Amino acid sequence: MDPIGFSLENYDAVGSWRDKDGSLPVDSSGVLPDGRTFRGADGLKGILRADKDKFAAAVTTKLLEYALGRGVESYDQPAIRKIASSLAADDYRATSLVLGIVNSVPFQMQRGAGAQ
């Protein structure tokens, strides 16, 4: 199961708030793989704020994978570390993340579609 997804259980498929799923109360609590527990989106938000650097590295990795159209490799790690660490210096702004990725070596040096 997806513990992070449980934090959003109070929202239905179109984003409306709900306290019940049918006749049962919604349980928006969860346990992360490291054992930390949370209740609802605010609880998860608190955990993520406590680990800003880890969260920044994870988001950087996922967005870089999307931008490259492939999984990241060990040789991408220096770029990920550089981008993630620069986010802290700019108050974790999304624009810094996007600019860091498009200016990174892996993004700049990727092959175009159809290149052999």
The backbone region for 56, taken as left when phi is positive above 0, alpha when psi lies in -120 to 50, beta otherwise, is alpha
pLDDT digits (tens), the chain, 116 positions: 688 899 999 999 999 999 999 999 999 999 998 999 999 999 999 999 999 999 999 999 999 999 999 999 999 999 999 999 999 899 999 999 999 999 999 999 987 655 55
The Cα 81–Cα 84 span in angstroms is: 5
Q: Write down the pLDDT at residue 114.
A: 52
Supply φ then ψ for residue 100, to 5 degrees.
-60, -40
Q: Where are the domains of the chain?
A: 3-49, 51-108
Exposed / middle / buried, residue 97 (Cβ in 10 Å: 0-12, 13-18, 19+): buried
- Single out the residue of 75, 81, 33 nearest to residue 54, CA to CA: 81
Residue with tokens 């991408």: 76
The Cα 30–Cα 11 span in angstroms is: 15
